[in-house]
Amino acid sequence: MKQFLFLVQALALLALTACAQITGPYYLGQEKYDEGIEALGQQLKENPQDASSAYYVGRYYLALEKPTQAIPYLKRASEIEPQNADYHFWVGVALWAVKDYSHEQESYGKALALDPKHISANLYLGHSYLESKKWREALAQYDIVLKLDKYNPEALYNRADSLRRLGRSAEEIEAWKKFLKYYPDGSLAMSAASNMNLHGDFTYRNFILGKRNVTLKTMKFKPESTLIDVSSKKSLHVIAAMMEANEKLNIHIVSYKKGDVTLAKSRAKAVRDYILGGHPGFSSTRMPLSWFDLSETIKSGGKSFQVDDSVQFITVVQ
């Protein structure tokens, strides 16, 4: 009879644990954090050794931006199941939120001791090093992440930022280019382009087109010709898509070619013709042209740079 009761109790505990593993992600995904705390908090009272319930209650508190309340639950989960790398990782995240950086890094270390390929733990350890001004350690950590996840946007961006802080300018510029190759849109792209421009590299530039700030790859042409390099055509597709979405958007195309006004004029026309070729419904009057046999003066970070061969895009004010 005792064995039967023990079996019933064991099965009940297993059922509670399984329930937490099912309902835990549900409350998290539905953003019903308070309901999750109430439901799984009750399960945790009934089964104090339910690591899954403790873990999800901690996650809910984190989602509610209450890291101080989250930490005891996440630590409890990691103590009940010390071999679970995810639990140690989330302890680290909660410690970061309360600016306990040394113990944060220690928690990521525990996660990585269990799972060296844990991408999030490797990534967040890099972030922690960056915030702690340990630039070399951060750089090494982001290199590890990129071996595991070649296109990780945070690692690509922060690797470049680490190189910037280390003063390794040539490597920094190449790292920004790599980030922008895969992630040319959004605020991080704008920041990456701005950092490149500070060094006088204008492979990418930020433009204000209509009401949007966009990052575009600089127009490149085949040497001494009007043939647009294939690497630049994506930028023209972006401009065309914006003009298609906003019929009131007109863009002034301004071409610069030092010492060759004829080529400058032909290149401005080539850019417009390429856009019109894909959108025959556009009126050419929406893209007025200007051209100069001078260098374009570009200001960045309080400095002025002379670019002998460039194309600028300016919103036409109605």
pLDDT tens by residue, the chain, 318 residues: 444 333 334 333 344 445 667 888 989 888 999 999 999 999 999 999 999 999 999 999 999 999 999 999 999 999 999 999 999 999 999 999 999 998 999 999 999 999 999 999 999 999 999 999 999 999 999 999 999 999 999 999 999 999 999 999 999 999 999 999 999 999 999 999 999 999 999 999 999 999 999 999 999 999 999 999 999 999 999 999 999 999 999 999 999 999 999 999 999 999 999 999 999 999 999 999 999 999 999 999 999 999 999 999 999 976
Element (H, E) at 251: strand 251-257
Domain contains 151: no
Contact 101, 131 (CB under 8 A): yes
Q: Tell me, yes or no, whether 236 lies in a domain.
A: yes
**How high is the pLDDT of residue 16?**
43
Distance CA 1, CA 112 (A): 45
Structural domain contains residue 10: no
**CATH number of the domain residue 232 falls in:** 3.30.1330.60
Residue 247 falls within a domain, yes or no?
yes
Classify each residue of 154-191 as buried b or exposed e, where b means 16 or more C-beta atoms within 10 Å of its C-beta: bbbbbbbbbbbeeeeeebbbebbbbbbeebbeeebbbb
43-52 tens-digit pLDDT: 999 999 999 9
Q: 144 lies in a domain?
A: no
Residue 22: predicted pLDDT:
81
Counting the structural domains of the chain, the total is: 1
Is position 85 within any domain? Answer: no
Check residue 317 and give its pLDDT. 76
224: containing domain: 205-318
**For residue range 70-79, what is the model confidence (pLDDT) as tens digits?**
999 999 999 9
- Quote the CA–CA distance of 316 and 198 in Å, as a whole number: 27
Closest CA to 119 of 150, 163, 75, 164: 150
Q: Is residue 267 part of a domain?
A: yes
Q: In angstroms, what CA-CA distances link 258 with 202, 253, 261?
A: 16, 17, 8
Domain-embedded: residue 170: no
From residue 116, alpha-carbon distances to 159, 246, 301 in Å are: 19, 49, 41
Tokens of 115: 């799972």
* Conformational region of residue 30, where left means phi above 0, alpha means psi within -120 to 50, and beta covers everything else: alpha
pLDDT digits (tens, 9 = 90+) for 199-247: 999 999 999 999 999 999 999 999 999 999 999 999 999 999 999 999 9
